Each structure stands twice: as structure tokens, then as C-alpha cells.
Chain A
Amino acid sequence: MAILEIKGLSKKFNNNVVLDGIDLTINPGDIIGVVGPSGTGKSTLLRSINLLERPEEGSISFGELKLDLPLKGNGKKTVKELRMHMGMVFQRFNLFEHKTALANVMEGLITVQKKTKEEAREIALKELENVGLLEWQNHYPKHMSGGQQQRVAIARTLAMRPDIILLDEPTSALDPELVTEVLNIIKKVAEQGYTMLLVSHEMDFIKKISTRVLFLDGGKIIEDGSPREVFGNPKSARAREFFAKMNKLKEPDYII
């Protein structure tokens, strides 16, 4: 039984087609890696799923919730309900600068899930411990490294117990030495049985943790299969070319 079903999702920026009729079915426990060249709609796909971007056409179904685009009637209410089932981790962390790490994690629990402060604190502390930042609970984001901020952001997302986690290039804004600590946390989260959609350029990481890989090009999913299939034996020339380029970057004598 699918957890999320997307049909014919299309999005244009001005006259530039970014998503071109995306169909996608996500099953519970799927760890989906989304890869592809820059500007092919990977981030837009993620941001369209929780309606941070407004696609012009298509539909998104989550269990009983069904959202037809463009929005009409009580669509706005459905959007909010849909968002409550999804968590998002951003490239630039997007922590609330004026709140401590703890308050950041508690925020959604209090305002969206209407939990009491005590309940929220208890959950938040557990999640901060989960990402190894319990002793940083009273620090403000500006006192933390990028890696730590991203771990707080992950804790903030997990605290809401989302059914699907959307990760939009979660390590792209980090210094190389901080990438590992965040990837380790994401790996840990994946092992906890969450359903995830991960846009990333960390190919090796995606190869390792994902159960399914999507290759996007020109706003379309042109490869969809297991990591072994997509990375090992891509059907399209476009994907083969892309992976060949990525591999070339890794050669030790590659000099720009």
C-alpha cells in the first residue's frame, strides 16, 4: 500500500518547465535517493510535495488526503494537513535564530501538535540526544557549527514523527569535514524505519543507504530502480554520461 502517490505533477517558473508531469509512488520504508544534474527539478520536486512550491497541475495523495492542483475550495486546509505528515530538512538548516536548540525542536510540537510544554520538552530532549546534541540544548544556532545546526534541524523534524522526511541537499552547505557527522545521523534515521526522500550529490552515500534511486533530467524521472540498477546499469545515455562525469571527479589525478 503506497504511502504517497503523486500524479502528473507539473511546475513552471515563468516559461521554464521545471517539473514535467512527474508520476511517483512512494511505499512505506522507502529510502529514495534523488539524483541528477543541477537545475533538473530535484529540489523543486521535493518542495512541491509539501507545497512550498505550487505546482500548476497534478495531484498528491496521502492516505485519505487528496490534493488536486491548482488549489481550490478547502485546498489550503488539506495543504496544512499534508504538511503535518511530512518533515523537511533544508540545505541551509533554517533553524529559528532566536530560539535555542531545544526551543527549535519544541516549536512545532507546541504550535502544530498542541502538546504541553512539558511533553514537548521531553520529546525534544530525546531527539537532541538521538542526534548527539543533548549538551547543546541551550545554545543558539549562531553558536553552533553548520553540522551541529543541521543535526538540530534533523532532530526538529524527527520530533514531529513525520511519515515522510524530505531532505533537500542536507550536506551541500557544509564544510567537507562536517558532512560525515550529518550523513551518519541520516543513516541512523534511515535505519530507524523512516520513509525518506533524499536529494543529494553524495552519490556514494545514496548508493549505500537508499532502497531506490530516481534520476531526474529535464523535469522528468528518467531512471527509477534499485541503486544497483540505476548506478550500475543505467538505461539512458543521459544518466550514463552524468555518472561517468561524477566518477571522473573522483580520480586522483583529476586536475581542473
Chain B
Amino acid sequence: MSTNFSDFFSLELVWKRIPELIKKIPITLELALFSFLVSIVVGLLIGVARYKKIKVLGSVATAFLSFMRGTPMLIQLYVAYYGIPAVLKIFNSWGANINVNLVPKLVYAFVALGLYQSAFTSETIRAALESVDKGEIEAGTAMGMTYPQIFRRVIIPEAIENALPGINNSIIGLIKGTSLASTCGIIEITYQNQILAGRDYRYLEGYVALAIIYWVITLILERVFKVVEKKTRIPEQPKELAEV
């Protein structure tokens, strides 16, 4: 009995697997997008609360942060998966009328992924806000600008430049994190691979195909980020000189 290399691994099968997996890319991207929105909104809230040292909100945010960073994403997904229906049922027992079965599984996943990522995003945002030169804030204050004006016109533009690399990292983290949502029964590309491999037992080819897909998505995103980051940076060269 001779063993053939293709018994263990067939590159051809990898290429065949890719188009079938790609069909579920919209779910993966949708999941990443919604979790990103959750993470950026919550991250902004926590980041600003901690930057401004708002009393109660700041301490709540710090506790939340510590929990989210100190527990695995997978565990948090399970907690959301079992926890959200439980909470809804409690609401129902108080007289609300929510059909728990109608809440899409997708919601559990992007709440969990989004909250997890928000912990990291909030720190990125806080650090970016804190890195803005205090002198510029003083200059604005001294000329009579209000704090909201300074925040919007001086702090934000600078903080965005500082925060973007970190936020872009978190988007990539979320793209990869969506693979964990398969454990919540969401058929995105990783779950799709499980299903397909269950039929022909070609797990290795399937996972290699998956790795390639995640990598390509990340590569494309990195290109986009490069362009966006360049746009927010102070140009190396001055704008065209005025004609005087």
C-alpha cells in the first residue's frame, strides 16, 4: 500500500473550497461591521469618560474594562449567547413581551464581539486624547474658545491621527474574531468550512482555504488603512505656496 501526499493534503481542493467559503463572506463582514460600530460607540464613551475623569461613569468604565480585558472572548460569546435570552426572559416576567426566539443569533455575536473590542478601542481613544498637546488646549482656552469648540476643532483632529493605527488594528482583530461566532451557531465562513469538511473530511484543506481568505481580507484592509492614515496626517510638504 503506497501513501500519496495528496491523501494528506491537496492544493487543488484548497482552491475548490475557496469559492464555497466565499459565499458566506457577507455574514463575516456584516458581523465585523456591526461589532465595529458597537466597539467604536462604546469605546468612545468609555475613552472620553476616562479621559475627562468623569466620576461615576469613569469608575464603572474602569471596572468594565478590567473585566472585558481579563476574560477570553470565547467565554464572553457564550455568556452573551446564554445570557441575553435569560435577561430578555426576566424582562418578559416583568411584563415585557419579547419573543426571545426572534432575536437573531447575529445580535448575540456582535454585542459580545463589539463589547470585547470596545475595551481595547477605549484605551486607544483615551491614549490618543491624552497625547494631544496641553499647550494647544491652553492656547484655545486663552483666546476664549469654549471647551466643546476646542474638543471638536483642536483635540479631535489630532486624536484621530493618533488613534487610527490602534483602531485599524482593532478592525483586523474583529475580522479574525468573527470566526469565534461560529460557536454561536452563526454560519459565517468558519462555520461554513465546518459544514463542508464534515461531508468530505478534508479539514486541513478547508482550514488552509480559510486562512487564505482571512489573510486576503486583512491585506485589502491594510491597504485601505494606509490611505486613510495618510489623509489624516499633517502633510510632509506644505500645500502649494500662495501666490504673493
Contacts and interface: CB of A to CB of B under 8 A. Distances in A.
B143 A83 contact: yes
A83 B144 contact: yes
Nearest to A82: B144
A88 B144 contact: no
Given A84-B144, A108-B145, A97 B136 contact: yes
Nearest to B236: A143
A198 to B, nearest CB: 16
Which bracket fits the contact residues of B? 20 to 34
A160 B145 CA distance: 12
A90 B234 CA distance: 22
A79 B240 CA distance: 40
Nearest to B233: A98
Interface in A92-119: 92-98, 100, 107-108, 111-112
B239 A52 contact: no
B157 interface: yes
Interface stretch (A59-67, A134-142, A208-216): A134-142
Interface in B131-150: 133, 135-136, 138-146, 149
A67 to B, nearest CB: 14
A94 B135 contact: yes
B235 to A, nearest CB: 7
B75 interface: no
Nearest to B240: A138
Contact of B142 (A52, A95, A111, A139): A52
A135 B136 contact: no
B244 A96 contact: no
A94 B133 contact: yes
A134 B242 CA distance: 9
A160 B140 CA distance: 12
Nearest to B161: A98
Interface of A: 50, 52, 80, 83-84, 86-88, 90, 92-98, 100, 107-108, 111-112, 134-135, 137-140, 142-143, 153, 156-157, 160
Interface of B: 133, 135-136, 138-146, 149, 153-154, 157-158, 161, 234-235, 238-242, 244
